[in-house]
Chains A and B, each alone.
Chain A
Amino acid sequence: MIKLDKVTKVYPDGTEAVKEVSLEVGKGELCILLGPSGCGKTTTMKMINRLLPISGGQIYINGLDNTKMDDNELRRNMGYAIQQIGLFPNMTVGQNIETVPELKGWPKAERRRRAEELLELMGMDPNEFMDEYPNELSGGQCQRVGVARALGADPPILLMDEPFGAIDTITRVRLQDEFLKIQQEIKKTIIFVTHDIYEAIKMADKIALMKEGQLVQYDTPANLLYRPKNEFVENFVGTDRALKGLQLIRVKEVMTSSPPRVKSDEKVGAAREQMEREGIDWLVVVNDDGKFAGWVDKADLGRGDRVRSIMGHSVMTTTVNTVLNEALSLMLSYGLENLAIVTEDNRLQGVVNFGVIRKALTELTQRRQSE
């Protein structure tokens, strides 16, 4: 889908920003350009949509040399989220998002519908934000509008230069998850720049690690972590490799999918019997409709009549696509021993706890070492 062949960029002032970079991104793949500041990530990206003229080598889009295409046609079919965000200050949020659809001549109603859909996707209420101007938004909100604008005309290719850079950690993790979920459905070909290695490991199908304009290693996240090509990669990946490895595993791969559970209107006695029978000291409480309600602990059993009246109401849950690293971080920050995994409408799907995570980690390390 996108192929770079010995791509080189020398700026007019003589700076050699990109040196003979070759890489291929398949259709539907998410490729992350990773590397320290100034290593040439943005430069590489801007040569793909020809914002910068290439100095040497070729770039092919669907097998066609991109210098042979019409610039504007090329760019309208390639969503672009620029590093500096660059929203148009004289246009509303809605008008910003509708830019490319308008250029492509979509009818007004359809454009507006698309803008609403994208705002919702970004977790921003269309009623509240559609007619706001960029100077009325926070930095994080601006950045989300920038991403929505890039997705505007539903382009098959996306170029995103640090799209989540200015967003707070919690929203950022949510957007990453959301983005990955959409990506599983829509399968766009994406080139994504970041210098956050956690983000890279979590999101990428393949990571292109760059250093001073050169491509050092182009590989899967796992290989980058466990089979670093040289010392630079090893140092860049860092020492806490085990923890970073947790970014590679999703909750659904390791969770206990049928945790011991009890209905909220059961008698406390029944809960006690179940615990004794299964030899455990906790149960997940669900409502009649299978939705997650809370936890009941052996220590709480003495009081009350129904499970409902004695259970702990923990609101902290997560979904199957969460990576283990984040699940662990949730458990640590909320002091949970067990974390409920639920569907979007809050139905219980499973549970993870420290034991499960430790086991996954051990397996991961052993597997890598034996390879």
Chain B
Amino acid sequence: MRRYVVLISLLTLLIGLTVWITNLEWIKEGVYKPFTWGDILNCTRTHLEMVLIAELIAISIGVPLGILVTRPGLKKLATPVIGGANVGQSIPSLAVIAIMAPILGFGLQSAIVALFIYGLLPVVRNSYAGINNIDPAIVEAARGMGMTKGQIARKIELPLALPVIMTGIRISTVITVGTAELAVLVGGAGLGRITLTGVFSLQPLTILQGAAPTAALAIILGFILERIERRMTSRGLRVKAEMS
């Protein structure tokens, strides 16, 4: 309950800030062309599009990859795969994005590929951990009762790992919303256009005009994904304290 209060006050604050700045008269009379409501909405939309596309690719590659390396035959690959993803994320996001431009050229595609690479780790790591951390006794009981490998995966392993996988997706999405601010540097779009304009023209209010909606977007997406995560979690997997 208290969390909701904090969340809603924060959102109100961020959106209120954006509204206030955008409606300010003096900005419109400033030295550069100020950003209008139309600009903000447009940028938010492209921002969201970039994030969603990158995230969809990260999920459709990361989840199967994370699960595959838990399988008996492929266990040996777990260390290099998780390690590789870890290295990917230890490179600063700015560098990942910057590297893409010379390789794929300036444009949205570079931005999306960079965001995908950067968002991959939490998805892979949580998919792997979700399956790998299941109590082996549970899987053994299932085997002992004559479930096939497919049945164990479908009825036991996936449902048990799902909450952990969903957490990975949520973390990845929230991170990607932030990283996407930099996409504009390689020819992408999004709210980074506003924020970085503010940075380069030394206009703190313009910076806020881009940064506040970005933060709001991260909070809203995180919240929606958390609701989905709860929906998909069997009552048997929720901790007792959480239920009361």
A residues in contact (CB < 8 Å) with B = 46, 49, 51, 71-76, 80, 82, 84-92, 99-100, 103, 133-136, 149, 159
Contacts and interface: CB of A to CB of B under 8 A. Distances in A.
12 contacts: A51-B140, A72-B148, A74-B146, A76-B145, A82-B137, A82-B140, A87-B138, A92-B236, A99-B142, A99-B145, A103-B147, A133-B236
A25 B160 CA distance: 38
For B235, B236, B240, the residue with the greatest tally of chain A CB atoms inside 10 Å of its CB is: B236
Contact of B144 (A51, A91, A135): A51
A230 to B, nearest CB: 34
Interface string B223-240: 000000000001111011
Given A86-B138, A88-B156, A80 B145 contact: yes
B25 interface: no
A72 B234 contact: no
Contacts of A49: 144
Given A90-B159, A90-B237, A133-B235, A75 B145 contact: yes
A134 B141 CA distance: 14
A76 B146 CA distance: 5
Nearest to B142: A88
B236 A90 contact: yes
A75 B144 contact: yes
Contact of A80 (B141, B148, B240): B141
B240 to A, nearest CB: 7
A86 B146 contact: no
A74 B155 CA distance: 20
Nearest to A80: B144
Contacts of A51: 140, 143-144
A149 B146 CA distance: 13
B35 to A, nearest CB: 49
Contact of A75 (B146, B159, B236): B146
Interface of B: 135, 137-138, 140-148, 151, 155-156, 159-160, 234-237, 239-240
A85 B236 CA distance: 16
Contacts of A90: 156, 159-160, 234, 236-237
B141 A87 contact: yes
Contacts of B240: 135-136
Q: Is the interface of B mostly helix, strand, loop or mixed?
A: helix
A85 B137 contact: yes
Contacts of A103: 145-147, 151
Contacts of B155: 88
Contacts of A73: 146
Q: Which of B144, B159, B239 has the most chain A CB atoms closer than 10 A to its own CB?
A: B144
A72 B141 contact: no
Contacts of B138: 86-89
A82 B236 contact: no
A86 B140 contact: yes
B137 A86 contact: yes
Contacts of B234: 89-91, 133
Given A84-B135, A84-B140, A88-B141, 16 more contacts: A51-B143, A72-B146, A74-B146, A75-B145, A80-B144, A82-B144, A84-B137, A86-B141, A89-B160, A89-B237, A91-B234, A91-B236, A133-B235, A133-B236, A135-B239, A149-B145
A364 B146 CA distance: 45
> Can you list the 6 inter-chain pairs with the closest CB atoms, starting with the nearest?
A133-B236, A86-B141, A75-B146, A84-B137, A76-B146, A80-B144
B237 A86 contact: no
Nearest to B148: A72
Nearest to A134: B236
A46 B240 CA distance: 33
Nearest to A74: B146
B74 to A, nearest CB: 19
Nearest to B138: A86
A277 B140 CA distance: 67
Task: Give the residue among B142, B145, B148, B159 with the most A Cβ atoms within 10 A.
Answer: B145
B36 to A, nearest CB: 50
Contacts of A84: 135, 137, 140-141
